[in-house]
Amino acid sequence: MPFTPGDRSMLEGYVKQARPIADMFSVKGKTAIVTGGSSGLGFDITLRLLQGGANVMMASYSELERDVALDILKKEGFEASVDFCLTDVTDEEQVARLVDLTAEKFGSIDIYVNCAAVWNYAKIYDLPQQDLKKVFSVNVFGAFYGVKYVSKYMKEHEIPGKIVLISSNCPVMPYPVFGGYPHYASSKAAVMGLTVEAAKELKRFGIMVNSIAPGAMVTPGSAGNLASEYITEEQQDEFYEELMVWQIDGQMPVDQIGIAAYTMCTPVADGITGEVIMVDGGATHNIVKYQAAIDAYPEEQ
């Protein structure tokens, strides 16, 4: 078909509607809550949000993390724009209080990033009930409470906000090779489901909900991640031997995941909701640097 004057007008409309590219990647003047924000990936996301111009309320159950994280960030010049709320995300009342305190401190809540999570290793046939309950309490209930109270605030105040939930690639790419994450993988699959359902419910209010699913990375939490303390020493030793098999692609820099999460908090995500974005260097597509040696697998009986 020939190019018409109407086509030209359409293109000119694109130009008029295009916001400055710098604004598309900015969170200047916004207020964010980051649970698990004082360590590991959560700290990196907190830093990036502060650099982007946001006020950030970090939340964690650790007073030691609070002191260290606040000291570092204030030395970087963010003293006026960062604060901390001691919060147990498994306690619904504490999460509701976190939302109230953030709004009182900074005047709004525009962004919520759920990064609080716990995990350890145990086979499903050895998994202690205590570990199952703890992992689901933090990873699933904690995420749900945050979405519940933050979305309620955004809805009541007519804020077209951004909600970002940190899940994992392990529900779709199980590892370690011989298992050991049944409770953690199940909890992160639940977070993926929560992402889609919350996105369905909240789009009408202009609230975008997405999930970032990282692969392996080095954080204080992952470095100290051990087998369950409730299984036997023999079961722990057996698991650690098998754990050596699953290394396939090294560890991603935390900031690569942090930047992806930050992007979902910006206007870049104005038209993105209900998505689970894999940030694992292609591992879920079997795009890897290494493969486990064949002799690392048990011989067939």
Residues with catalytic roles: 168, 184, 188
Asked if residue 295 lies in contact with residue 253, where contact means CB atoms within 8 angstroms, the answer is no
pTM of full prediction above 0.85: yes
Per the structure, the complete domain to which residue 240 belongs is given by: 26-281
Q: Please indicate, yes or no, if residue 286 is contained in any of the structural domains.
A: no
Amino acid (1-letter code) at residue 99: V
Which residues are paired to 237 by β-bridges? none
Q: Please indicate, yes or no, if residue 79 is contained in any of the structural domains.
A: yes
Asked if residue 127 lies in contact with residue 179, where contact means CB atoms within 8 angstroms, the answer is no
Q: Please indicate, yes or no, if residue 229 is contained in any of the structural domains.
A: yes
The tally of domains found in the chain comes to 1
CA angle 152, 156, 160 (to 5 degrees): 85
Q: Please indicate, yes or no, if residue 291 is contained in any of the structural domains.
A: no
Q: How far apart are CA 210 and CA 197, in angstroms?
A: 10
Q: Please indicate, yes or no, if residue 12 is contained in any of the structural domains.
A: no
CATH number reported for the structural domain that contains residue 195 in this entry: 3.40.50.720
Q: Please indicate, yes or no, if residue 289 is contained in any of the structural domains.
A: no
Q: Please indicate, yes or no, if residue 257 is contained in any of the structural domains.
A: yes
Q: Please indicate, yes or no, if residue 287 is contained in any of the structural domains.
A: no
pLDDT by 10s per residue, the chain, length 301: 677 888 889 999 999 999 999 999 999 999 999 999 999 999 999 999 999 999 999 999 989 999 999 999 999 999 999 999 999 999 999 999 999 999 999 999 999 999 999 988 888 998 899 999 999 999 999 999 999 999 999 999 999 999 999 999 989 886 666 677 899 999 999 999 999 999 999 999 999 999 999 987 666 655 456 777 777 888 877 777 776 655 556 678 899 999 999 999 999 999 999 999 999 888 888 777 766 665 666 676 6
